[in-house]
Structure 1
Amino acid sequence: MSPKHADISLTLERLWQFSLQYYSMRGVKDACLNLQNHFKGNVNLLLLLKWLDEQQVCFKDQDWLKVEECLGHSETLLHSYRDIRRRLKSHVPDALYRESLQFELQLERCQQSDLVDCINNLELEKNLGSPLTLRYCRQLGAEHLYPAFAEPIDNTANM
């Protein structure tokens, strides 16, 4: 890796496995849900940014909009589905509700696929500035949540 450019290998499976492991770390799930429910943050975007932070790479500042735009369609679909699922929670059997949660996970995975495609089409560079997760929290006005995302994940999870 040159001081400026970075070559990384990001696949959907790599990001998905990282996300599952990272999301299960103490405090991360609660902070993610807080970011999503109170600051309109996107958890999949945060998980991608954390993966990039772990790789010590970032995209250019002018590419933030491209990354956020790639979420457009899937974000609308996820919000709509999540709202319906929440309203149905007390009206459907537990088994059906669990199935609806599994379907939501499939939608999340599709959104991660969009993010992977987007990132793989951007020029990445060594991150010499603030972590991307911190930048995202600041952008959302949720900087106080950043400490929950600051801890590095076990190196074996970097895949």
Structure 2
Amino acid sequence: MTRKPARTSLTLERLWQFSLQYYGVRRVKEACLELQNQFRGNVNLLLLLKWLDEQKVTFQEEDWHKVEECLGRSETLLNSYRELRRKYKQHLPDTLYRESLQFELQLEKQQQSDLVECVNSIPLIANQGDPLTLRYCRQLGGERLYSAFSDPASRYTNV
């Protein structure tokens, strides 16, 4: 049985706005940070996967590695910068620390741009299996965190 290609229109701005709204939900933010800090997960990838779940689309199993590989360019830089910012938090004036957070957000947006480009280059199909966010949480060993991502985003946002 062949699965029909799914039509969806993902842009950086669409994913970015979705991410800002969805991540703004306290329960979601806490689960994202735990996924990142305890399970070494990537929050931008999780937000992309949640967006795809909301569209009821997925990609083929063999494309998982392509999606994860597209993080390679920015992940090391982002993690190094984040670690440095945390290390110097106590030593920076408040205004400089806020500027460092803004720069980190720019790095996050660049990473989302890489993800959007990648996902737009692979075929998407209607998802008839488990949500991508559940699969990602399982893959990282943090399946219990999925409950924070299981509700439709529209319950918390106007997307």
Distance 2:26 2:112 in 1: 22
Partner Cα separation in structure 2 for residue 3 and residue 65 of structure 1: 20
Summarize deviations over 1:96-132 as a string: whole Å, max 9, x none.
Answer: 0000000000000000000000000000000000000
Q: Which residue of 2 aligns with 1:72?
A: 72
Counterpart CA distance in 2 for 1:72 and 1:3 is 30
Question: TM-score w.r.t. structure 1 length?
Answer: 0.95
The amino acid across from 1:49 in the alignment is: L
Q: Secondary structure at the match of 2:153?
A: coil
Residues 26 and 90 of structure 1, relative CA distance in 2, 3 Å threshold: closer
1:90 aligns with 2:90: yes
Between the aligned partners of 1:143 and 1:99, the Cα distance in structure 2 is 34
Shift, 1:5, TM fit? 1.1
Amino acid at match of 1:26: R
AA aligned to 2:110 is C
Alignment root-mean-square deviation, CA: 1.4
| Matched residue, 1:144 | 144
Q: Offset at 1:73?
A: 1.5
- Between the two proteins, what is the percent identity of the paired residues? 69
Matched, 1:14 2:14: yes
**Aligned residue-pair number:** 157
| 1:108-147 correspondence to structure 2 within 5 Å | 108-147=108-147
TM-score by length of 2: 0.95
| TM-superposed deviation, 1:26 | 3.4
The gaps in structure 1 that reach 5 residues or longer are: none
Give the structure 1 partner of residue 43 of structure 2.
Answer: 43
2:104 maps to 1:104? yes
Deviation at 1:157, TM superposition (A): 4.1
> Equivalent residue of 1:8, what SS?
coil
Structure 1 ranges of 4+ moved more than 3 A:
155-158
**CA distance in structure 2 between the partners assigned to 1:98 and 1:122 by the alignment:** 37
Structure 2 Cα separation of the partners of residues 112 and 135 of structure 1: 20
